[in-house]
A and B are shown apart, each in its own frame.
Chain A
Amino acid sequence: QKEVEQDPGPLSVPEGAIVSLNCTYSNSAFQYFMWYRQYSRKGPELLMYTYSSGNKEDGRFTAQVDKSSKYISLFIRDSQPSDSATYLCAMKRSSAGNMLTFGGGTRLMVKP
């Protein structure tokens, strides 16, 4: 079993919909949680970064971390066709320097 699990999708939604992307993990030592967006044939780019449990909002994006359930989410409000990409969750232990463990990614398609 992988340390970080993510539904590969694809997830197809109409423009303007609220999108919910999720990851589960097994290692309770993870303290830092991130969401990356990766467009086709590009490298991942950091979208959201949170430490420990709680919510963080940035524009149309909200990241949630529930450490008790080992579950993290990314919500996208008013989704746009430009949001179509693969979304990767990543996490790390506080003692592991900058070594990130990634999920497999969820492919999102927002249709006009």
Chain B
Amino acid sequence: EAGVVQSPRYKIIEKKQPVAFWCNPISGHNTLYWYRQNLGQGPELLIRYENEEAVDDSQLPKDRFSAERLKGVDSTLKIQPAELGDSAVYLCASSLAGDETQYFGPGTRLLVL
């Protein structure tokens, strides 16, 4: 069974540029999460989706970050404009309803210059 797929794996952009990350969760997983992991730290939740609905986005910086999950499957996370402090690894995870296990993708490593 394929795991969580993320692309791109690496992205280098200049500050003030836009950037988008894409995530394809494990088939059948209705819950999808976006996390940000800064160097030497644990992941921090940005947003959680139950199917198409964002049920927890309290940690998403809404002035520059946006996310969508059309049709309750794939999801995109966008930053516009990017700032130097956005350099981090952006992880996507998915889980089945009622299952405590979250399966993580490999992440997108973002460097903002």
B interface, by DSSP: helix, strand, loop or mixed? strand
Tell which of A97, A100, A105 has the most Cβ of chain B within 10 Å: A100
Chain A residue nearest to B10 (CB atoms) is: A41
Which A residues touch B101, using CB under 8 A?
46, 49
Known: A43-B91, A98-B31. A104 touches B102 (CB 8 A): no
**What's the count of A-B pairs with C-beta under 8 Å?**
55
Q: Is the CB of B100 within 8 A of A32?
A: yes
Q: Is the CB of B48 within 8 A of A97?
A: yes
Is A88 an interface position by the 8 A CB rule?
Answer: yes
Which B residues touch A45, using CB under 8 A?
103-104
Which residues B73-113 have CB closer than 8 A to chain A? Answer: 91, 93, 95, 100-107, 109
Chain A residue nearest to B6 (CB atoms) is: A43
Task: Count chain B residues whose beta carbon lies closer than 8 angstroms to a beta carbon of A.
Answer: 24
Chain B residue nearest to A46 (CB atoms) is: B101
Bound CA–CA A39/B45 (angstroms): 20
Which B residues touch A8, using CB under 8 A?
40
Kindly supply a per-residue 1/0 record for chain B positions 29-54, scoring 1 wherever the CB is within 8 Å of any chain A CB and 0 otherwise: 00101000000111111001000000
Q: Is the CB of A44 within 8 A of B104?
A: yes
Which residues A17-58 have CB closer than 8 A to chain B? Answer: 32, 34, 41-46, 49
Distance in Å from the Cβ of A33 to the closest Cβ of chain B?
11
* Chain A residues with a Cβ under 8 A of chain B: 4, 6, 8, 32, 34, 41-46, 49, 88, 90, 97-100, 102-105
